[in-house]
Amino acid sequence: MIVWQEQVVQLIIDVAGMTASKADELRRAFARANNEHLLATLRERFLAGAEANAVPPDVAERIFAKINGHYMFPESHSHVFAIAAYQAAWLKRHHPLEFFVALANNQPMGFYPMETLKQAARRFGVPFLNPCVNRSQVRCVPEAGSARLGLSMVKDIGPESVQLIVVERERHGPYVDAGELVRRTGIKPQSLRSLIEAGALDAVTPNCCEALWEAGLSIRPSGSGQRSFPVVGTELPPRFDDVSDYDKMIGEYRVLGIYPSGHVMEFIRPTLDSSVLTTTEVYDAQEGRRVCVAGWPIARQHPRGPDGTVFVTIEDETGDVQSIIRPQVFARCRRALSYSLIMISGRIDRWDGTGPTSSPRRRSDWPAHPPTQSPRLALNWIAALLSGNMRHR
């Protein structure tokens, strides 16, 4: 089996008698654009060298056909990847808290979104905690077996403001409420609103509406740094109904990009038909069974370009599963696949994903509105049902 680039080079040297530099030139020629003329020239040189080494012409042709740019990989890269994969797996198994804190502090890293890392951490017994103005640092830190998100993760807050919140707290003690946070730091209204939506003031004022009221009554420090005093009145402050859990979830996704205490599908699941399986249930389904699954498309891979088969990984509150979208189906459903939540129907295939698929259709039972009819819905609702195959990984 030809696996490594080094094996390809050695094969060309042994069969055609080429020098190492000429053999590597032939290997690299396969990866070049508009390489037909160059490959034709190198092929003649290869066949001539093979004939000089008494290699039968038909054998030389078959060997040359096996030399291509699709499956060659540097052996040194593979060794490095293997070592990195082993080290990461060891850390994840024996030190999951430190492992996921380090990952959170080095985002974005490319492939998986932060929400997926959070879900993986929960399955390893490492819950993520919302940012907190009295407990968070600038970056994510371990806290009693959990990962406390850093204030720098909150959108609409610059690094200077984040640093000011932490330094002021360490110098003069924790913040009592949202109003005191404004008076001591002078944080801007939009930044404060993002902190409230992120749950960073839940420890001092759990009611989001009351936190906004407290902040609105407070005066920011003057330009000279003179700190303002709290507004004192004889009347009790008004009481407000807090926003719903659903709206809190939407707010956290908006300003954090994740929902630390759960998953969006926990809110969507009760509105779906019982025929829509969780990803965990998909793994228990029999070979060839047609199933339907809904969730967040966390990864879309096009290994053979936009005209080839597409692999879409669907995540819900229980795990994830990979679906295989055929080119003709992807062409029809390209737009729907870009949505934040999708529903896919397909047949179970635990091997090579060759089961038949059906045409896309619309679902009449997919809810037209979120459970609370919230006008602040930040996620796309999709009324399209895609067809594909579900592959077990």
pLDDT digits (tens, 9 = 90+) for 130-160: 999 999 999 999 999 999 999 999 999 999 9
Q: Tell which residue, 160, 244, 177, 173, has the closest CA to residue 215.
A: 177
Spatial distance between the Cα atoms of 43 and 63, rounded to a whole number of angstroms? 11
CATH 2.40.50.140 given to domain 265-391: yes
Three-class secondary structure of residue 125 per DSSP = coil
pTM: predicted TM-score of the whole model, two decimal places: 0.69
Q: Tell which residue, 89, 100, 106, 150, has the closest CA to residue 126.
A: 100
Report pLDDT for 138. 95
Spatial distance between the Cα atoms of 243 and 209, rounded to a whole number of angstroms? 7
Q: Tell which residue, 145, 235, 217, has the closest CA to residue 180.
A: 217
Question: In this structure, how many other beta carbons lie within 10 angstroms of the beta carbon of residue 318?
Answer: 20
Report pLDDT for 233. 55
Spatial distance between the Cα atoms of 44 and 9, rounded to a whole number of angstroms? 17
- Specify whether the CB–CB gap between 193 and 219 falls below 8 A: no
Three-class secondary structure of residue 53 per DSSP = coil
Report pLDDT for 69. 56
Q: SS3 breakdown of the chain: % helix, strand, coil, rounded to 5?
A: 40, 15, 45
Report pLDDT for 390. 39
- Only one residue has tokens 């936190």, namely 211
- Specify whether the CB–CB gap between 175 and 181 falls below 8 A: yes
- Record: fold of 111-246: DNA polymerase; domain 1 (1.10.150)
Sheet containing 141-143: which strands, arranged edge to edge? 128-129, 146-148, 141-143
Which residues of the chain, if any, have pLDDT below 70?
Answer: 1-3, 68-76, 217-236, 304-306, 351-393
Report pLDDT for 221. 62
**Exposed / middle / buried, residue 105 (Cβ in 10 Å: 0-12, 13-18, 19+):** middle
Which phi and psi (to 5°) does residue 217 adopt?
A: -85, -10
* Domain 265-391 in the same topology as domain 111-246: no
Please work out, in degrees rounded to the nearest 5, the angle formed at the alpha carbon of residue 212 by the alpha carbons of 223 and 107. Answer: 80
The encoded tokens of residue 251 equal 């707010």
Strands (E) located in the chain:
128-129, 141-143, 146-148, 276-277, 290-301, 310-315, 320-325, 342-349, 361-362, 384-391
- Annotated domain spans of the chain: 5-66, 111-246, 265-391
The encoded tokens of residue 28 equal 């690299």
Label residues 192-222 b or e (16+ Cβ within 10 Å = b).
Answer: bbbbbbbbbbbebbebbebbbbbbeebeeee
Report pLDDT for 379. 26
Which run of H or E residues covers position 277? strand 276-277
Q: Tell which residue, 316, 324, 346, 335, has the closest CA to residue 380.
A: 335
Spatial distance between the Cα atoms of 282 and 339, rounded to a whole number of angstroms? 22
The encoded tokens of residue 318 equal 């229980």
